[in-house]
Amino acid sequence: MAKPTMSKDPLFQLLREEQVAEFNRRRAAGAKIDLRGTDLSRIDLRGLEADGLDLSDCYMRMSDLRGIDFRRANLEGTSFASANISGCYFPLEITADEMALSISQGTRVRYRRD
């Protein structure tokens, strides 16, 4: 597996700076972002509108994800080690056991979408 990347994309930088509302505003206005394989660790991402985001192979170690609805995001291969996921929605295909392993051991989430 490749190491997570630090994109130079301005939208990625907004997330790294915890400017989630501005990130959401720009996406709603049509801005595109490729977050696959990026490092989103140790960031407060509360309020992120994750619909349609491809977050595959991301690292979200110790991030604050409380209340985010990930049901329409791609999380294949994402690691949630020690992340705060209280109140989150996840795709139905991800089992509670799979999430528990990812949070406690840092494993990458595996699931199949039909």
pLDDT 10s per residue in the chain (114 long)?
578 889 999 999 999 999 999 999 999 999 999 999 999 999 999 999 999 999 999 999 999 999 999 999 999 999 999 999 999 999 999 999 999 999 999 999 998 776
Alpha carbon distance, N-terminus to C-terminus of the chain: 24
Residues 43, 15: contact at Cβ < 8 Å? yes
Q: Is the pTM of this model over 0.85?
A: yes
Domain boundaries, the chain: 1-114
Compute the distance between CA of residue 66 and CA of residue 30 in angstroms, rounded to an integer: 25
* Vertex 23 angle, CA 55 and 110, to 5°: 10
Q: What angle do CA 109, 2, 43 make, to 5 degrees?
A: 60
